Amino acid sequence: MSTASQQPLPPQGAALLEKIRNRTARVGVVGLGYVGLPLAVEFAKAGFHVTGIDVAPRKVEQINSGSSYVQDIPSAEVADLVSRGLLRATTDFSAVSELDTINIAVPTPLRKTKDPDMSFVVNAAQSIARHIHPGLLVILESTTYPGTTEELLLPMFEASGLKAGVDFFLCFSPERVDPGNPKYQTKNIPKVVGGITPACTALGASFYGMALDTVVPVSNTVVAEMVKLLENTFRMINIGLVNELAVMCHRMNINVWEVIDAAATKPFGFMPFYPGPGLGGHCIPIDPFYLSWKSKQAGIEARFIELAGHINGDMPRWVVSRIQDALNDQVKPLRNSRIHVLGAAYKRDIDDVRESPALDIIHLLLQRGAIVTYSDPYVPELRLDSATLRSQPLEALSSCDCAVIVTDHRAFDYDAIVRLAPLILDTRNALKGRTEPHILRL
C-alpha cells in the first residue's frame, strides 16, 4: 500500500472505509460487458451487495434471471449470487443514490478518424452526476487517454458542489481483462489504481483489496491511465515488428516461426512475439491510438505507434495476397474460388469477434469475388454488411479451393483439416511441425 493510505482520511472517507472493511458498502458497476460483469461477480462473491447498471434491457434481464452471457462467467455462478441477493441488475441510474461505490466499465471505441469516442463514458458520468452524493467512490475503468478522469469526469462531478477527495472520491483503474485466459482472470490480475487525491487512491486501493488478490496504488489518475496505454502500445509495436519481419522472411524464403523460436532461447534481452493475420479485440488495435491522439494535442508525433498501426492494419491484405498467390500457383483465379476461413474470433478459444482480422479478410475476399465459408465452434453466425454467414462443419473443407487458418482454436481437429483441405495457409503456425506440401505458412 502506498503512503497515501497512511494519511488521515476526511470524515466522509473514514466512514466509507469502515463500510468497505466490514463489507456493508453497496457496490455498483456501470456497464455489464466482459469487464463489468466479471468485476461485479467478484465483489458479490466477496460478500458485497452489488448492483449492475446497463442501458441494455436484455443484459439486465439475463442477469436477474441468473444467466451469464460472458464466456468467462458461468451461469451457475450468476444464478447463485442472484438467488442469495448479492447481485442484481437494473437500467435505472437512480440506483446510484443508494450506492457507496460505482465503477464505470463502458466501451471507449475509436471513431473512423482514429480519435476517441468518449460518448459512452460521458453519458455514464452524466447519469451518475445526477445522483452523486457525499461519501460516494467513483472509479473509471474504461481505457482512455491520459487526463480523462481529471479533465472530463472531475468537473462534471464537482459541478454538484461536492469536492473530490473530501466529499466524494474519484479514481481511475485500468481494466486488464484477458478474455478466455484460463490462468489470469479478474481476481488474480494485479489491479492498478490512482486517485485524484491521496485519499481517493487510498480508498480505491482498500476497495479493490477486499475482492482482488493484488492492488498496485500509483500516485494519481494520469499515471494509472498511462499504465494501460503503455501495456497495449508495447504489445502493438512488438507485434508490428514481427509482422514486418514475417513479410521480409517470406520474401527471403526464411521460416519466420523458426527464427522466433530460436531467438526465444536467449535467456535475457529478448521476449518472443508472434506474427499473425492482424490485430483484434477491443484493446491492442485501439488503445495505442488514444495515446497517439493525446500526444498530437501536445505537439508530439507518435511515430512508432502510427507505423506499427499501419503494418498491423495491412496484415489482412497481406493474407489475402498470399491466398491469391497460392491459387495462382495452381492456375486458379481468386474470383469464384472457394475459400474456407478457419476461425472468426479475434483470438483462440473465445467467442469475441470485435476488431477480428477474420472480418477484414472475409470482407476483402468477398470484394475480390471469392466464395467464402467459415468454421468457428465459438461463433455460430457472422454478419458482414448485408451478408450473413453461418459456421460450417469441417467437412466443408473438402469442397474448398483453399483454407486459411485465422484463429487457432484448440477445438479444431487439425488432422482432419490437413486431410480435407487441398491447400492451407496457416497464419498462426497452428500446424507447427507439419511438412505436407499443401501447407503454406504466413
Say which CATH number the domain at 378 has.
3.40.50.720
Residue 18 lies in a domain: yes
Identify the domain containing residue 275 by its residue range: 236-441
Query: Is residue 322 assigned to a domain?
Result: yes
Q: Which of 372, 385, 359, 382 is nearest to 277 (CA)?
A: 359
If one counts every other C-beta atom within 10 angstroms of the C-beta of residue 113, the result is 7
In a domain, 229, yes or no: no
Which residue pairs from 118-121 have beta carbons closer than 8 angstroms and sit at least 24 positions apart in sequence?
118/144, 118/148, 118/152, 120/31, 121/148, 121/152, 121/153
Q: How many structural domains compose the chain?
A: 2
Alpha-carbon distance of 287 to 222, in angstroms, equals 15
Q: Please indicate, yes or no, if residue 316 is contained in any of the structural domains.
A: yes
CA–CA gap between residue 197 and residue 398 (Å, rounded): 63
Catalytic, out of 249, 283, 400, 402 = 283
Rg (CA), the chain: 24
pTM of this structure: 0.88
In a shared domain, residues 289 and 410: yes
Coil, strand or helix: which one is 338?
A: strand
Question: Final residue of a domain: which of 157, 190, 219?
Answer: 219
Give the span between the Cα atoms of 167 and 406, in whole angstroms. Answer: 51
CB 361 within 8 A of CB 404: yes
C-alpha of 439 from chain center: 31
Name which of 388, 11, 376, 72 is nearest 203 in CA terms: 11
In a domain, 225, yes or no: no
- Is 283 designated active site? yes
Whole-number Å distance between alpha carbons of 44 and 86: 5
For 353, other C-beta atoms within 10 Å of its C-beta total 19
Nearest CA to 225 out of 297, 153, 300, 278 is that of: 153
What are the pLDDT tens digits along the chain (442 aa)? Answer: 333 446 789 999 999 999 999 999 999 999 999 999 999 999 999 999 999 999 999 999 999 999 999 989 999 999 999 999 999 999 999 999 999 999 999 988 777 666 778 899 999 999 999 999 999 999 999 988 899 999 999 999 999 999 999 999 999 999 998 888 889 999 999 999 999 999 999 999 999 999 999 999 999 999 999 999 899 889 999 999 999 999 999 999 999 999 999 999 999 999 999 999 998 766 656 767 777 777 777 788 878 888 888 899 999 999 999 999 999 999 999 999 999 999 999 999 999 898 899 999 999 999 999 999 999 999 999 988 778 899 999 999 999 999 999 999 999 999 999 999 999 999 999 999 999 999 999 8
Same domain, 204 and 305: no
User: Is there a single domain that holds both residue 207 and residue 254?
Assistant: no
Let me know if residue 337 belongs to a domain.
Answer: yes
Q: Is residue 43 part of a domain?
A: yes
Give yes or no: residues 202 and 266 share one domain: no
> Do 340 and 404 contact (CB within 8 A), yes or no?
yes
Our measurement of the distance from residue 442's CA atom to the centroid of its chain's CA atoms, rounded to an integer in Å, reads 25
Can you spell out the DSSP letters for 213-255? S-EEEESSHHHHHHHHHHHHHHHHHHHHHHHHHHHHHHHTT--
Distances (CA, A) of 340 to 398, 405, 408: 10, 9, 14
Question: Based on the domain organization, do 420 and 376 belong to the same domain?
Answer: yes
Going by the DSSP 8-state scheme, the letter that residue 304 receives in this structure is: H
**Confidence (pLDDT) at 212:** 97
Specify whether 85 is located in the same domain as 60: yes
Within its chain, how far is the Cα of 182 from the centroid? 15
